[in-house]
Amino acid sequence: MGKTLGYMVTWTTYGTWLQGDKRGYVREGKICGRNPRLEQRNKENQMGNTIKLTSKQKNIVRKSLMEEARKLGQKVHSIAVCTNHVHMVVSYISDGIEKSVKHYKNASLVALREDGFVGRVWTRGYDKRYCFDEKSLKNRIEYINKHEQ
């Protein structure tokens, strides 16, 4: 494995990807399939409304993420802010991926609240895909660029 050039991170809006739904989920590092009972239990335990970002909110999130990346000194190679999730491909920085994602989620939450949003926006956690070479970096950038269209 070579030097980490960057990584793709993805996180979802609250209530839009529950454990047990048809897309599957990861538990303790293992990929699990659909489980309708688990999905229903998660719906019943949900503490707030399912969040789908409006066009205005997506723009607010995008702007806040780009500003936070500038503050962190992290280059954004590609970004897609969708109604129910965010994808970013960013350069490697020594602070670590966990800290970066925490900054991004918090910055976007603050920006949304300044616009009047109330409640929870993001699910706990995120997905990460490391880019150890130019090819993997390029592939993830292309994935997000296609996703954004």
Residues 95 and 40 in one domain: no
Is residue 43 predicted with pLDDT exceeding 90?
Answer: no
Q: Does residue 92 share a domain with residue 24? A: no
Element (H, E) at 81: strand 76-81
The whole-number pLDDT of residue 37 equals 85
Q: Between 48 and 126, name the one with better pLDDT.
A: 126
pLDDT at residue 145 in the model = 92
- What would the mean pLDDT of 33-62 be, rounded to a whole number? 86
Residue 149: the pLDDT is 60
* Tokens 């607010």 sit on residue: 60
Pair 99, 40 in one domain: no
pTM: 0.87
Is residue 1 situated within a structural domain?
no
The answer on 55 and 30 residing in a single domain is no
- Residue 15 pLDDT grade (very low, low, confident, very high; cuts 50, 70, 90): confident
For residue 149, what is the DSSP state? -
CATH number at residue 67: 3.30.70.1290
In a domain, 12, yes or no: yes
Taking only the tens place, the pLDDT of each residue in 113-143 is: 999 999 999 988 899 999 999 999 999 999 9
Same domain, 42 and 110: no
In a domain? residue 68: yes
* Three-state secondary structure call for residue 27: strand
Domain match, 93 and 31 both: no
Q: Would residue 117 count as lying in a domain?
A: yes
pLDDT tens-digit readout, 54-112 = 999 999 999 999 999 999 999 999 999 999 999 999 999 988 899 999 999 999 999 99
Give the closest residue to 113 by CA, choosing from 72, 34, 57, 68: 57
- Give the model's pLDDT for residue 64: 98
Tally of domains in the chain: 2
Residue 94 lies in a domain: yes
Q: Are residues 55 and 114 in the same domain?
A: yes
Do 103 and 138 fall within a single domain?
yes
Domain co-membership, 82 together with 107: yes
Residue 45 has pLDDT above 90, yes or no: no
Least confident stretch, 9-13, 28-32, 103-107, 120-124 = 28-32
Show the domain range for 96.
6-16+51-148
